[in-house]
Homo-oligomer: A and B are copies of this chain.
């Protein structure tokens, strides 16, 4: 008799294996209705949790390597939580290395994790490592790119990303519509897709209003808190200061708010701040203090985990791109 797996339950119900896994592991994030469906299907198919353990025999090391550019950024840690919740029932553990927004370091990290024989990789790239990534893929180790694409889309890799152009476009439009025409922009690295696409979204929005990007108001950073601090120092020293600051990730926005506070600026009263990505710390300011594009890191992580499982358990070929839609969050 064939062993029944949670995959069979998922297929019968037409829902994802991650959802089934969450219900059976009681790790939350499922509606009452779905829970009931899962439990009754498990009973109907005579599902035995041990079948999963048996299916693990073929795994080599049960570890998945995660390389993220900033290991202390809550955004990337929420992605990781999603991955972990997807793969936990299958006995996989996550190993983290930090790329530090440094392509040279990231290349070394990729080599180390391959030497450590991880079964699969999830990478939020710091850029420039197309060759190494292609070699890994060709060697048969599944690799999912998360949050950030490669410059060359041709690699046919699995991607889980967000629509950064749309998100930045919406965020910029919101500021423009409220009369902000001097917007101080804090860019992330233009070497990585999230950085250049968000700047692209900004430019698209201002061009539609017949405006041009003002080089004086563009600060190019690298996604770190220090960049946000330095950007504010720069903007506050301009003769003609911006009326709003637009940061293209959460940690730079956090740095910006720290430095505005230090300089006696109250947000949003003295300076409006808009952030691509939620700033956890802003919860201790008054509600609606900053304007935010909400991202979906947990759901992105779940999806990346599902893709890995398809590769590891079913030898699936690449599954293509999943694009999440970020949305503007204002609670006035």
Give me the interface of A with B, judged by CB distance under 8 Å: 61-63, 71-74, 77, 80, 93-98, 108-109, 112, 115-116, 254, 257-258, 261-262, 267, 280-286
A116-B284 CB under 8 A given contacts A95-B97, A108-B93, A109-B93: no
- By beta carbon, the residue of chain B nearest A282 is B284
Cβ contact of A283, chosen from B94, B95, B116, B261, cutoff 8 A: B261
A254 to B115, CA, bound (A): 39
CB closest chain-B residue, reference A281:
B281
17 contacts between A and B (CB under 8 A): A61-B116, A71-B71, A71-B80, A71-B96, A93-B109, A94-B98, A95-B116, A96-B96, A96-B97, A254-B284, A257-B284, A261-B285, A262-B283, A267-B284, A281-B281, A281-B283, A281-B284
Q: Are A96 and B98 in contact (CB under 8 A)?
A: yes
- Smallest CB-CB separation from A78: which chain B residue? B72
Q: Are A261 and B281 in contact (CB under 8 A)?
A: no
Q: Which residues on the B side are within 8 Å of A97 (C-beta)?
A: 93-96
Counting every copy of the chain, the complex holds 2
Q: Which residue of B lies closest to A285 (CB)?
A: B284
Smallest Cβ distance from A147 to chain B, in angstroms?
16
CB distance A96 to B93 under 8 Å? no
**CA of A63 to CA of B267 in the docked complex: distance in angstroms?**
44
* Whole-angstrom CA separation of A262 from B287 in the bound complex: 8
Question: Which B-chain residue is minimally distant from A66 (CB atoms)?
Answer: B96
Closest to A113 in B: B95
- Closest beta carbon of chain B to A44's beta carbon, Å: 31
